[in-house]
Amino acid sequence: MKHFILISFLLSASVLCFSQKKVAVLETVTGEDSNVTSLEKAIIRGELRKAIFRVDGFEAITRTDLDQIFQEQDFQYTGSVPKDQIHRLGQMSGADYLCISTLNKSESQFYIEAYLIDVSTGEIESPASQFGVVKNGNMADLYEICQILIKELIGDKIVTGGELIEETFDKNTWGWTTFSHDAKSVIVANDELRITNYANRGTTQSDVMVPLDLRRNFKMTFNFVIQEVKMQSSVGIKFGGNNNVTVNSHSCICHVGSSNKSINDANIGKGRNQPVVIDLIKNGENLTILVNGIEICNEICALSTNQMSVFAGANTLAMLKKVTIQYIR
């Protein structure tokens, strides 16, 4: 099975006060004997563009504008791009990177491999690749696969500001609520917030007013450790009213806006001293939630309050080790 080239330009416009990396997506290029349809090529192109929009600090150029550039300049993208054209395309489109990908598709599976090319140097960076299943002639899970590819290629290029805010619990500087009552307690000790819930029902919760500028884009990370994961052990956070994410030994349940999602592959896992890392990433009114690096949801969620809470479910002793806020350019 031959490899065919899918050329992707990734172009972004600077919509914030700071410069963003510029990236863009071209139509898939395939050989004459390929069984990839024009519709499938258009779907791949669209899903890659949407995946780019979901990465902070990046934005995709519109397809119409990009096609117009190539039509006016009579560029040919037939599987490879010479270095002189790479520089010309970068100058004309304003792109920082080109992404060249290969696509294979058989009756039962497909395979996409993508590369980034730095426009300023012409150098090819590390590739990303994913397999997918073909069902009834259609490429299944293409949306998720395009997200994974783009995150592997440009996720580590997120531009962050120099300002980092940390809560390490050497002192209760943010003012987390503490209490002790029978089987439930919240205390600050040994550089951690200890949330104890030895009851067989309910939750133990600590509230705080986070020193966060909601007008800016940010990544907020909660680092938990659960002393011992039992059948009902769970931890989570609440933010902006009824929005919350709960992680337990079976699944992760997320409520954001009107979204109600449950994902089985983002659970804690049984054992002792199990880490749970929850990330909130705000980009405009869009909020992405990651649990242990797995994307749980990506929804419109206009945060309107700095009030947040952390909680532990029944039969859980959890330690919140650190909370960080990193503003994103």
| Chain segment 158-179, per-residue pLDDT in tens | 555 557 889 999 889 899 999 9
Q: Using one digit for the tens of pLDDT, what is the confidence trace for 109-132?
A: 888 877 777 777 777 777 788 888
At residue 233, φ and ψ (nearest 5 deg) are: -65, 140
CA distance 313 to 244: 13
**Coil/strand/helix, residue 162:** strand
Single residue among 157, 181, 205 that ends a domain in this structure? 157
Angstrom distances, CA of residue 53 to CA of 12, 21, 283: 9, 12, 10
**90 and 199 share one domain:** no
Rg of the chain over all Cα atoms, to the nearest angstrom: 23
Same domain, 110 and 244: no
153 with 165, same domain?
no
17 near 65, Cβ under 8 Å?
A: no
pTM over 0.75: no
Of 18 and 327, more confident: 327
* pLDDT confidence of residue 234: 92
Range of the domain at 92: 4-157
Residues 71 and 123 grouped into a single domain: yes
Indicate if 179 and 294 belong to the same structural domain.
yes
Q: What is the CATH number of the domain that holds 278?
A: 2.60.120.560
The burial of 113, by beta-carbon neighbours within 10 Å (0-12 exposed, 13-18 middle, 19 or more buried), is given as middle
Percent of the chain with pLDDT over 70: 81
What SS3 state is found at 229? Answer: strand
The model's confidence at residue 108, banded by pLDDT at 50, 70 and 90, is confident
Q: Is the pLDDT of residue 182 over 80?
A: yes
Q: How far apart are alpha carbons 136 and 214 in whole angstroms?
A: 46
Confidence band for 40, pLDDT divided at 50, 70 and 90: confident
Q: Which residues are 328's β-sheet partners?
A: 160
- At residue 66, the 3 state secondary structure works out as helix
Residues 141 and 173 in one domain: no
Considering only 90-99, 223-232, 238-247, 310-319, which range has the smallest mean pLDDT? 90-99
d(CA 269, CA 132) in angstroms, rounded, equals 26
Helices (H), strands (E): how many in the chain?
Answer: 4, 22
Q: Do both 191 and 136 map to the same domain?
A: no
Tens-digit pLDDT profile for residues 272-284: 888 999 999 988 8
Task: Give residue 32's pLDDT.
Answer: 64
* Same-domain pairing of 185 and 83: no
pLDDT at 52 over 60: yes
Same domain, 64 and 192: no
pLDDT band (50, 70, 90) for residue 8 = very low
Whether 123 and 169 map to the same domain: the answer is no
CA atoms within 13 A on the CB side of 309: 18
How much helix, strand and coil, in percent to the nearest 5, is found in the chain?
15, 45, 35
In the structure encoding, which two tokens stand for residue 11, read together? 């172009």
Claim to verify: residue 87 and residue 41 sit in the same structural domain: yes
Share of the chain above pLDDT 90, in %: 23
Out of 135, 157, 179, pick the residue that ends a domain.
Answer: 157
Q: Is the same domain home to 122 and 167? A: no
- Whole-number Å distance between alpha carbons of 319 and 222: 11
Instruction: Say how many domains are in the chain.
Output: 2
Q: What CATH number corresponds to the domain at position 122?
A: 3.40.50.10610
Last residue of a domain, one of 157, 192, 214: 157
Identity of the amino acid at 175: G
The better pLDDT of the pair 184, 128 is held by 184
Quick one: pLDDT at residue 1?
44
The per-residue pLDDT for 299 is 85
- Three-state SS at 10: strand
